[in-house]
Amino acid sequence: MSSTNRTLLKAAGFLMAAQMASRLLGFLRETLIAGFFGQSRVTDAYNTAFILPDLLYWLLVGGVLSAAFIPVFSEYIAQGNEDEGWRVVSSVVNIIFLALGLFVLFGLFFTPEFLKLMVPGFQAKDIALTTHLTRILLMQPLFMAFSGLTMGVLNSYKIFWPSALGTVLYNASVIFFGTILANPGKPESISGFAVGVVVGALVNFAIQIPALRKVGIRYHPIIDWRHPGVRRISALAVPIILSYSLNQIQIAVNNNFGSTLFPGSISAIWYSSRLFQMPVGIFALAIAVASFPTMTEQAALKQWDSLRETISRTIRMVVFITLPVSVGMIVLRFPLIRALFQHGHFTAEDTARTTVPLLYFCLGISAQSVIQILPRAFYALQDTWTPVVLGLISMAIDILCMFLLVHPLAAGGLALADTVSAVVNMFLLFYVLRKKLGKMDGRNMLGTGLKTLLSSLLMAAVIWVWNQWATRFLGVKTISSLIVLISGTVLGALVFAVAAKLLKMEEFDQTIGLLQRRFRRAS
């Protein structure tokens, strides 16, 4: 294995571990919210309150960070011109915070009007609670911008651990403040979780400061609009900002439809969305983040064969990991939701409603995972318009499917629309990328997909039988469901591993090798 591959796997392995810890804390957070407040308009209000803060973050920070900031700054570092790169960083940071501050002030004043457009099915008291929560959460984008831009600088130096640790502390803060302030008899007390979000965003930034100081902060109080680096970042960021804004529009449309359904429908979609995003966040996003600086460097040095190999390897690894996870979640979705959420004010009826969108979301986990990687390949090539155009097509398909499916399938229709859109987006991205780079090792990727699917279906058959027998024998209470879930997961992992080994899958050997190296270091 080459040194580049070892570095990539090492970084991805660490990020996976940190993401795993963060996601587990995230589920503890969601479990606490569900236990305290059930699945109701109160939780609908809390989840809806994130729309405006998230829109501002992705409008002004997220797109710049992922599509333009890291590639341009990484290029300055690769060319040994760090001082000039820091002048560019300083200008971009100053521009972002001036714009973000103005937008946050504007948002604070016009929150009620915004929400009336987003969730027309909410009553006046629901709008009032959502407004209160949104105004608290509007502080989050400021701190998230600090942490996001700091993460971008550190990732350009291929330093990943501070931001990964920051996400863990973020969720810990939400849990701490949410728990000590929650009172199920007072709906407004859910604001404790919103306060925790703001504090967590601040902690996420603070934990990265020592590493930033170590690489050497070279901040300049300047705004140089005419600097070529600033102009390049602006040109690269515009399309991806549009793309992320459109993604937030999709979320808003989803909530718009959800607000007209049974109370708690938005929360059912939210909880199931969080579950299906777990493997995407733990595995796909970690691999994508770890591989992005490498792809950027290979593209900058015009190492096209190496770039194609990096893209192929990351896609194959992501499919190998996420496809069996998605199949396993489909089979074990009832014990999964019972174990995580069914306690306190979250009832068996809430569980049944949540399993429906979860089923449809799980069908698209691998597609959602692959599209964490493919756009970054375009960004590494400093082509940010192509993913936007293809994203526009996918968004139109998503909204059309929502309109067609929401009435026959209710919340499940909204989830299925997202899955259809993700699958279409994945194929479009791959097709166009192949046109740009030439042959993309499609045969190996197809082989990995088919072998993984075969192994996953064998695993599904085994754990379905186990799930049926164990549930009848143990029952459906929380502890029983947890036992069924854990035992079914372990059994499924063993069956999948044996099948993958018998099929001589390269990805299986890579995964085992990575685990063995981690255990050796731990011991």
Instruction: List the chain domain ranges.
Output: 41-241, 264-516
Residue 245 has pLDDT above 50, yes or no: yes
Instruction: Take residue 474 and report the two structure tokens written for it.
Output: 């143990």
What are the tens digits of pLDDT across the range 450-498? 999 999 999 999 999 999 999 999 999 989 999 999 999 999 999 999 9
> What span, in angstroms and rounded, lies between the C-alpha atoms of 318 and 449?
10
Tokens for 446, please give them. 């197809």
Q: Can you give the pLDDT at residue 515?
A: 56
- Dihedrals φ, ψ of 381, to 5°? -80, 5
The two three-digit tokens of residue 220, written as one number: 């300049």
Q: Which two tokens stand for residue 25?
A: 């804390």
What pTM did the predictor assign?
Answer: 0.77
Cβ density class 196-231: b for 16+ within 10 Å, e for less: bbbbbbbbbbbbbeebbeeeeeeeeeeebeebebbe
pLDDT level of residue 65 (50, 70, 90 thresholds):
low
> Looking at residue 61, what is its pLDDT?
75
Over residues 324-334, the pLDDT tens digits come to: 999 999 999 99
pLDDT at res. 522: 45
Q: Of the spans 46-60, 289-303, 378-392, 410-424, which averages the highest pLDDT?
A: 410-424
Q: Which of 60-81 are b and which e, b meaning 16 or more Cβ less than 10 Å from the residue's Cβ?
A: bbbbbbbbbbbbbbbbbbeeee
pLDDT digits (tens, 9 = 90+) for 123-165: 999 999 999 999 999 999 989 888 877 887 787 777 777 877 8
Question: pLDDT tens-digit profile of 4-34?
Answer: 556 555 666 666 677 678 778 887 888 899 9
Percent of the chain with pLDDT over 70: 93
Give the mean pLDDT of 342-366: 93
Asked whether residue 109 carries a pLDDT value surpassing 50, the answer given is: yes
Q: Based on the number of CB atoms within 10 Å of its own CB, is 10 exposed (0-12), middle (13-18) or buried (19 or more)?
A: middle
Mark out the alpha helices in 209-281 (DSSP H runs).
Answer: 209-215, 228-258, 265-279
> CB of 357 within 8 A of CB of 402?
no
Give the span between the Cα atoms of 50 and 179, in whole angstroms: 19
Cβ-based neighbours of 499, under 8 Å, separated by 6 or more: 454, 455, 458, 459
Q: Which of 112-116, 175-179, 194-198, 507-511 has the lowest mean pLDDT?
A: 507-511
Q: Which residues of 104-126 are buried (b: 16+ CB within 10 A; e: fewer)?
A: beebeeebeebbeebbebbeeeb
The three-state secondary structure class of 95 is helix
Q: Is the pLDDT of residue 425 over 90?
A: yes
**pLDDT beyond 70 at 291:** yes
Q: Is 179 helix (H, G, I), strand (E, B) or coil?
A: helix
pLDDT, one tens digit per residue, over 355-366 is 999 999 999 999
Amino acid 257: pLDDT: 92
- Higher-pLDDT residue of 521, 190: 190
State the chain's mean pLDDT as an integer. Answer: 87
